[in-house]
Structure 1
Amino acid sequence: MPAPDRTSLDEIVAAGRSIVEAHGLDGLTMQAVAGRVGVRAPSLYKRVRNRGALVELVAEATVRDLARRLGEAAPVDGDPRAELAALARALRAFAHERPVAFGLVFAPGGGGVSQALLAEASAPVLRVATSLVGEADALSAARTVTAWANGFVTMELSGAFRLGGDVEAAFEYGVERIAESLAISVSEH
C-alpha cells in the first residue's frame, strides 16, 4: 500500500507564494517550501519537477488571482471610465498586497505564464478598452492603460516618487486623465 500524500500541489503553491512575498524570489527554494508544508525536499519532486517549475506555478497562481480580482472589480454594465478606474485600483491594490509576485509576472518573461492565462487576466481590461475606444483600437488602449498602471505602481513600490505630494491623488489623476483621453479619442473618430 502506498504511503498517503502528506501535501498537495495547492499547498505547495500557496507556500511558494508566501515565501516569495516574505523572502523574495531568491528565497523560493525547494527546501524552504518543503519546510513550510512539512515534508522533506525530495518529496516535493513528486509534484513539482524543479525550482523553475515551482516559479512558474507561483507566477500562474498569481496571474489567476489577479484575473479573478480584475474580473470582480468592474461590473459589465457600468460606465467604462469608472470601470477602467476600478480595474486600475484593483491592479494597484493587488500589487501592494503581493509586490514580489506582481514584479515577477510583469517582468520580462512573466514567470513563464501561458498565453491563455494571460489572455484570461487581460479580458476585463480589453472589455473596458473596447467599450471606450472600439474594437479596432482596444488592444492598443489596453496596453496603454496597463503600461501606465504598471509603471506607476512599480515606481510607487520602489519609492521612486520622492518629490513630495500626494501619491494617491496622483494615481487618481492619472486614471481619470487616461480614461478621459481614451473616451475623447473615440468621440473624435
Structure 2
Amino acid sequence: MPTPERTSLDEIVDAAARLLDEGGPSAVTMQAVAQAVGVKAPSLYKRVRDRETLLARVGERAADELTARLTAASDDLNALLIAFRRFGHDRPEAFRLLFTTVVDADRLAATSAPVLRATTSAVGEKHALDAARLLTAWATGFVTMELGGAFRLGGDLDQAYDYGRAHLVASLSNAHDGDRPAQGS
C-alpha cells in the first residue's frame, strides 16, 4: 500500500512563498519548507526537483499575482503604475525574485499583456511596445531603488513616484501615433 500524501505541491509553494516574504531567498531552504509543511526534507523531492525549481514555482505564482493586479487596473496607465508599485511594497521579495533568471520568461512575459493593452490604448499600436518598455523600466527602477533604500537625498517618495507617474502618463496621453522625439531632444 503506497504511503499517503502528507503535503501537496500547492502547500509546498505556499510555504516557500511565506518564507520568501519573511526572510528573502536565503530563507527558502528545503529544510525550512519541509518544516513549515510538517514533513521531512527528502519528502519534498517527490514534488519538486530542487530548491531552484521551488523558487521558480514561487516566482510563477508571483508573476501570476502581478498579472492579475495589472489586469484589474484595466487600460488605465495611472492605475497600472499604482498597482505595480503596490505589488512591490506588498511583496518586496517576490518583486525582486521576478527579475531573476529563476522565473520562467514566458510566465513573466504574461505580465506584459495588460501593460501593452494600456499603452496601445494610450499611444496606438505603432509605439505601444516602446511605451510599455518606458513605463516598465521607470517603475521597476523606481520601486527597486525604493525597496533597496537607494533614495538617500530625503523627500517624500510617494510624492516623487506620483510626480514621475503623472508626467509619464501625461506625456503618453498626449502622444500622437507616428510622432517621435527628435534625436538629441
Q: Please, what TM-score do these two structures have when normalized by structure 2?
A: 0.91
Paired position in structure 2 for 1:106: 99
Q: How many angstroms apart in 2 are the aligned matches of 1:86 and 1:165? A: 23
Deviation at 1:27, TM superposition (A): 1.6
Does residue 183 in structure 1 map to residue 173 in structure 2?
Answer: yes
Structure 1 stretches (4+) deviating beyond 4 angstroms? none
Where structure 1 has 5 or more consecutive residues not aligned to the other structure, the ranges are 77-82
Paired position in structure 2 for 1:80: none
Deviation at 1:113, TM superposition (A): 1.4
Alignment root-mean-square deviation, CA: 1.4
Query: What do residues 142-185 of structure 1 show as CA deviations (whole Å, max 9, x unaligned)?
Result: 01100100111111111222222211111111111111111222
Paired position in structure 2 for 1:26: 26
Structure 1 window deviating more from structure 2 (118-127 vs 139-148): it is: 118-127
The structure with more helix, counted as a fraction of residues = 1
Equivalent residue runs for 1:30-49 within 5 Å: 30-49=30-49
Name the amino acid aligned to 1:113: D
Deviation at 1:187, TM superposition (A): 6.2
Equivalent residue runs for 1:68-87 within 5 Å: 68-74=68-74, 76=75, 83-87=76-80
Where structure 2 has 5 or more consecutive residues not aligned to the other structure, the ranges are 180-185
Q: Secondary structure at the match of 2:155?
A: coil
Does residue 92 in structure 1 map to residue 85 in structure 2?
Answer: yes
Q: How many angstroms apart in 1 are the aligned matches of 2:51 and 2:178? A: 51
Q: Is the 8 A contact 2:88 2:95 kept in 1?
A: yes
Paired position in structure 2 for 1:79: none
Figure out how many residues of one structure are paired with residues of the other and give that number: 179
Q: How many angstroms apart in 2 are the aligned matches of 1:30 and 1:183? A: 48
Q: How many angstroms apart in 2 are the aligned matches of 1:187 and 1:68? A: 28
Q: Secondary structure at the match of 1:3?
A: coil
Deviation at 1:119, TM superposition (A): 3.0
Name the amino acid aligned to 2:93: V
Residue 163 of structure 1, aligned match among 147, 150, 153: 153
Q: How many angstroms apart in 2 are the aligned matches of 1:156 and 1:7? A: 37
Residue 130 of structure 1, aligned match among 96, 120, 124: 120
Paired position in structure 2 for 1:8: 8
Name the amino acid aligned to 2:160: A
